[in-house]
Amino acid sequence: MSQILITRPHGKGADLAEQLSQGGYQATLFPVLKIDYLTPDNTQLTPLLNADKIIFISQDAVKALLALKPDINTKAQFYAVGEQTAEAIWQAFGVRAAVPKLHDSEGLLALKSLQQVDGLNIVLVKGKDGRATIAKNLKQRGAFLNNLVVYQRGPVEGNVTDWLDHWQSLDVKGIVITSNAAVDAIFRELGAKQLEWIRQCQFYVASARISEYLAAQQIDSANIHIAAGASDSAMFTCISEGNIMSEDTKPTSQLADPKATPSSSTKASAKVADSASATKKDFAMKQETNQNNKQKISKTGSLALLISLIVASGVGFQFYQKLHTQQQANLLVNQLSADNQLLSKELQAVKVAQQTLQQALFNSEQKVAASLAENADNTAKQLAAALQRAEQQTYSLNPQEVTSLQRMAEFKLWAEHDYNGAAAVLTRLDTLLAEHPGTGAIRQAIYQDLQALSTVEPVAIEAIYLKLHGVLGQVDKLVFNAVALPQEVEQKEQHVLSENVSDWQQNLANSWQQFKDNFIKIRQREDIAIEPLLTEYERHLIQQRLSLYLSQAQDALLTKQASIYFTALSQAEVLVKDYFQHDEALTKSTLKALQELSKEQLNFSPAITLQSTEQIKEWAK
């Protein structure tokens, strides 16, 4: 029972292993490659939308692209290198793909539908550094080719020497390889002993391209068997045929000596015949001697003659037995060869029937696609003709409906100042006019009106209102102005009367000064704050008045009366400046807020003239 090693990536060799087990082989799964999906950017995925043809080189290409969930033109012609890839395309995108007879790059390029591709957009979905032959040939044929790389293969982690030691311990006889990358992964860094062993194994490859690449590793072409593709059934057939042929070239040890050949057995038979004839000649000479010398016969001569006859009989019987055994072996080998040839013919007939069926299916799909394309063209032509006839017909447009919509737009604009409503009515009017010819000038005017309406910036009424509300809440916290009198300064008596009589004049002046001081009293003070000049009631009235101005500004904002709004803010600013302390932080912030609110652009009713009004009036005439 042969041990077959399957090197396909993880998850791809289980079905083949099961088929081999049922066919009497021992199958071992040993992936030497790992698949890493890539993430192309949107620029690389964009060609899928406008592609005329999309080519997938493997199942991994289909799965990697499906994981990206791209926008893809499912009406394009899909191509697959092999049957399994075509099945994966059907499962992923619901589209039947064209498959070549030979499941390789050359077979794909030989398809008739890929011969004339000049000017066509083709997307090649592939792995990194793969299928350069396809890309090169399609470019030479004039196609606009986009290489979409969605995955890459790489060797799994591990020492190749350890791999081969393990394979030798399993007594591996055949190795399944489906890509050049697997060849690179196996033959890297091998020693002389490992190379000598692996070159004795049988290799089952998926294409002639892999066979040539494997032959470059000094593998005998007799040990390389090319399957009809990478599918499990194709590989199983290749393994079965390869083992039958190898058994045909090696006779079984039970039937004959492995070192014996037809020429050597013939020589051995000739030697036996010569010995037998020599024995017969000796026997004849002895008989003639006995006839001439009958009298000289003795008992010793009779005994010698008897021994010679026995020896000759033994040699003849041995020769007959060997000749009979050789004839049976030859008959068995010939029968096995005939059976193998018959089986090969039947397999070949099955392959031919399968290829014929695939070609017939492809041809039928091509016919269906051509029929669908022809129907689509006919439908498009009929639709274009119907549209042309519709445009040539005389249309009846109700002028009253047009003027009504125009008047409604003007009412929205001038009476309600609803610019969005006016724009909506004009848009409805434009949609109505679009269905009728000869209204290009009116529609152009409507477009200008819509542009003018779109430039009107709405007043941020809510934001301004909230700012006023914030200032209004700070009125009760503002600090009123207060009068600060200096501290009273003690003054020395300057007008003291003298007791000297001669100072009568000075005493008279001092007496007059004292009288004046007693009549008018002036005191000096320092750093003593006193109550404001306003009473509590007056301060309350000022605060109420300030709040009233701010509330008036809010009402004017809501009723869209810009002049009242700015007047109320101006009066409120005057009150704050006249009655409250300027050095206080709250007073400063209040004045700053009032000044900013006074700078708001309250253009509630911008002057907009509808150009479409005059156009519709002229049209209605």
Q: What is the pLDDT of residue 279?
A: 42
Within-domain flag for 507: no
Same domain, 181 and 268: no
Question: pLDDT tens digits, residue range 339-383?
Answer: 777 787 777 778 777 777 777 777 777 778 887 888 888 888 888
Question: pLDDT tens digits, residue range 112-157?
Answer: 999 999 989 999 999 887 778 898 999 999 999 999 999 988 888 8
Q: What is the pLDDT of residue 523?
A: 57
Asked whether residue 617 carries a pLDDT value surpassing 60, the answer given is yes
User: Phi/psi at 581 (nearest 5 deg)?
Assistant: -65, 130
Within-domain flag for 353: yes
Q: What is the pLDDT of residue 287?
A: 47
Contacts of range 267-273, beta carbons closer than 8 Å, 24 or more positions apart: 268/322, 269/319, 269/322, 269/323, 272/315, 272/318, 272/319, 272/322, 273/319
Same domain, 130 and 169: no
> What's the average model confidence in pLDDT over 560-572?
90
Within-domain flag for 462: no
Within-domain flag for 241: yes
Instruction: Supply the angle between the helices 585-598 and 562-579 in degrees, to the nearest 10.
Output: 160
Same domain, 25 and 166: yes
Same domain, 218 and 272: no
Asked whether residue 313 carries a pLDDT value surpassing 60, the answer given is yes
> What's the average model confidence in pLDDT over 24-47?
88
Domain boundary among 134, 169, 193: 134
Nearest Cα to Cα of residue 548 among 566, 565, 568, 534: 568
CATH number at residue 48: 3.40.50.10090
Q: What is the pLDDT of residue 123?
A: 94
Question: pLDDT tens digits, residue range 160-186?
Answer: 888 888 888 888 989 999 888 888 888
Across the chain, what does the average pLDDT equal?
Answer: 79
Within-domain flag for 295: yes
Q: What is the pLDDT of residue 288?
A: 47
Whole-angstrom CA distances from 407 to 96, 422, 423, 450 are 59, 10, 13, 15
> What's the average model confidence in pLDDT over 318-333?
69
Within-domain flag for 165: yes
User: DSSP assignment of 468-532, as one string?
Assistant: HHHHHTTGGGPPBP--EEPPPPP-----PPPS-GGGHHHHHHHHHHHHHHHHS------SEE---
Within-domain flag for 76: yes
Asked whether residue 89 carries a pLDDT value surpassing 70, the answer given is yes
Within-domain flag for 603: no
Domain boundary among 198, 220, 248: 248
Asked whether residue 255 carries a pLDDT value surpassing 70, the answer given is no
Question: pLDDT tens digits, residue range 472-518?
Answer: 998 889 888 865 545 554 555 566 777 777 777 887 887 777 777 66
Asked whether residue 395 carries a pLDDT value surpassing 70, the answer given is no
Q: What is the pLDDT of residue 263?
A: 37
Share of the chain above pLDDT 70, in %: 79
Please report where in the chains the tokens 């009406």 appear, as a residue: 75
Could you write out the three-class secondary structure of 230-283? CCHHHHHHHHHHHHHHHHHCCCCCCCCCCCCCHHHHHHHHHHHHHHHHHHHHHH
Element (H, E) at 122: strand 121-127
Could you write out the three-class secondary structure of 537-548? HHHHHHHHHHHH
d(CA 594, CA 109): 81
Give the residue numbers spanning the domain of 422.
399-454
Same domain, 406 and 334: no
Same domain, 293 and 244: no
Asked whether residue 99 carries a pLDDT value surpassing 70, the answer given is yes
Same domain, 266 and 351: yes
pLDDT-derived band at 187, boundaries 50, 70, 90: confident
Same domain, 55 and 117: yes
> What's the average model confidence in pLDDT over 325-332?
72
> What's the average model confidence in pLDDT over 285-299?
47
Same domain, 194 and 178: yes
Whole-angstrom CA distances from 588 to 129, 474, 527, 593 are 73, 12, 25, 9
Same domain, 275 and 371: yes
Same domain, 302 and 448: no
Domain boundary among 391, 408, 428: 391
Number of domains in the chain: 4
Same domain, 382 and 271: yes
Q: What is the pLDDT of residue 403?
A: 86
In the three-class reduction of DSSP (H, G, I as helix; E, B as strand; rest coil), residue 175 is classed as strand
Give the number of other CB atoms < 10 A from CB of residue 44.
17
Among the residue ranges 38-52, 99-113, 276-290, 295-309, the one predicted with the least confidence is 276-290
> What's the average model confidence in pLDDT over 413-431?
83
